[in-house]
Copies of this chain bind each other. A is one copy, B any other.
């Protein structure tokens, strides 16, 4: 922890505090004390408090997009890939709950311009995921009774809400919840068994 690069340490502590107390309720002073540095150091690495939040967002979005792409373009049937992608995003979200909490609580506090760019990244992710569903609907593997966009909004609503109830020391692991959620998604698309 102590030999971690200063920039990373500031980001890590900021993430922890933002998730615990909220963005606005956390002062820059608290962050730098917690990270064992001074304000000067923080403003050396980041332009503003907003910039700090933006970096936290960008990091998690990059990670999720990379994983989704790898799974979607990887091997396996469509059902398998969708199931895998769904379970994976649940598991990684559970493993980085702080990021998830911060994201949906605080995005509205960013400057409008920054907000727009973050939302655009988010939409690209959503669309890549949706394309899997659309592909299955076109192929007749998935039911198209409910529009693909709505199904994806339905699913991601659940994922994004993990932060309000999931606990690492609860009865279920992130991987278990991931499998269940992926099952629910597939079932609601009328594609009961993943291996059919």
Q: How far is the CB of A174 from chain B (nearest CB, A)?
A: 13
Q: How far is the CA of A151 from the CA of B153 in the complex (A)?
A: 16
Q: Which of A19-27, A32-40, A64-72, A74-82 contacts B (4 or more CB under 8 A)?
A: A19-27
Q: How far is the CA of A145 from the CA of B164 in the complex (A)?
A: 23
Complex interface residues of chain A between 137 and 196 (CB less than 8 A to chain B): 143, 145-147, 150-151, 153-162, 164-165, 172, 177, 180-181, 183-185, 187-188, 190
CB of A120 within 8 Å of the partner chain: no
Is A109 in contact with B22, judged by CB distance below 8 angstroms? Answer: yes
Looking at chain A's contact residues, the main secondary structure is helix
CB of A105 within 8 Å of the partner chain: yes
Q: How far is the CA of A23 from the CA of B181 in the complex (A)?
A: 32
- How many copies of this chain? 2
CB of A108 within 8 Å of the partner chain: yes
Q: How far is the CB of A58 from chain B (nearest CB, A)?
A: 18
For A147, the chain B residues whose CB sits under 8 A away are 180
Q: How far is the CA of A146 from the CA of B164 in the complex (A)?
A: 20
Partner of A158, one of B24, B108, B153, B164: B153
Q: How far is the CA of A157 from the CA of B177 in the complex (A)?
A: 13
For A24, the chain B residues whose CB sits under 8 A away are 22-25, 109
Q: How far is the CA of A157 from the CA of B185 in the complex (A)?
A: 13
* A→B interface (CB under 8 Å): 21-25, 104-106, 108-109, 143, 145-147, 150-151, 153-162, 164-165, 172, 177, 180-181, 183-185, 187-188, 190
Q: What are 29 A-B contacts defined by CB distance under 8 Å?
A: A22-B24, A22-B109, A24-B24, A24-B25, A24-B109, A25-B109, A104-B104, A104-B161, A143-B187, A145-B183, A146-B180, A146-B183, A146-B184, A153-B158, A154-B158, A154-B180, A155-B158, A157-B157, A157-B158, A157-B159, A157-B161, A158-B161, A160-B161, A161-B161, A184-B188, A185-B188, A187-B187, A187-B188, A188-B188
